[in-house]
Amino acid sequence: MSIEVKKQHYVWEYYLKGWATDGQIWCKREDKIFFPSTENVAQQRYFYEIETLSDDEIKLLRGMVMKGPAINQLTNLSSLNTYISIANSGEKWARFGLEQYHGIIESNALPVLKALRERNFDVLNDRQSKIHLCIYMGHQYTRTKKARSSFTYPQDPVIPEKYKYFYLQKAHNAIGFVLANAIGSSICDHLDLRVIENHSDINLITSDQPIYNILAIPGVTSNESSIYFPISPDLALWAKKEPCNENINTEENVVKLNSFMAKNSLEFIFASSQEELETLTAEVDSQ
């Protein structure tokens, strides 16, 4: 099988199929509502193509990730070494390797997500299944176009002479990859991850940034986590410090969550019907 996948999704296509009908999904982009194939949304040609890293750039990145407790340093360094291996294994792997890596993560998470959508919630009691799911969640958080575009360059940064040709975006992409595994590990080992059923009469929507810390404030480092991740119109994963006692029992709950999801999207909002997107647009505009 060729690794040369040119159309690279930053939101897993199988994930989007939770809202799709016969391979098509209702989508809102800017002011347009349309019904495309899941193959043609939340993707970009060569989205995961990365640049080769020089020895000095690798040294700088290793210094950046070797912070905090020793166990975190080991995890971060392992993730960084994987990224370096992909970036520096030749032009073909720099263009397609990261896409292949995400494909492996998705393949491992697929039976877990499938089981949850079939309401086999006990799958999370299996340690390995939970690990696979949490690793996917961490990468889905940081791999998106929204996460990439949220990076802002400091004004007039002081850069040592030997790093003056090191584009800051290269560091951001590498650190985002490292952070993904750290987020997944935190969800798995330090947060109470629950499946929350939507008991209201309104469906949950999703977006091109489908997983988000509800307590995050843009531009501010958050010390608290409440990770919300809808996985179908009537199910969501929610992770926070124990106990995670969140519920989705009322239409008011869903309207609030859907509005949050819409406001924190970049380009795409997804739903299971045209009417849901039209209603959501009216609700967000009225706020």
Each residue's pLDDT tens digit, 139-162: 999 999 999 887 655 555 566 676
Could you count the other beta carbons within 10 Å of the beta carbon of residue 152? 9
81-89: which pairs have CB atoms within 8 A and are 24 or more residues apart? 82/177, 83/50, 83/174, 83/177, 83/178, 84/53, 84/58, 84/174, 86/50, 87/50, 87/51, 87/52, 87/53, 87/174, 88/52, 88/53
pLDDT of the residue at 95: 95
Fill in the DSSP letter of residue 198: B
Measure CA 66 to chain center.
24
Q: Which residue ranges make up each domain of the chain?
A: 7-286
pLDDT of the residue at 253: 95
pLDDT of the residue at 285: 66
pLDDT of the residue at 163: 65
Read off the amino acid at residue 127.
R
pLDDT of the residue at 220: 58
φ/ψ region of 226 (left if φ > 0, alpha if ψ in -120 to 50, else beta) reads beta
Q: What is the spatial distance between Cα 163 and Cα 161, in angstroms, rounded to a whole number?
A: 5
Tell me: the pLDDT tens digits for 98-121?
999 999 999 999 999 999 999 999
pTM value? 0.93
pLDDT of the residue at 278: 94
Token pair for 107: 């393949």
Please, which residues bridge with residue 232 across strands? Answer: 235
pLDDT of the residue at 59: 87
pLDDT of the residue at 160: 67
Q: Which residues of the chain have pLDDT under 70?
A: 1-2, 151-160, 162-166, 218-222, 285-287
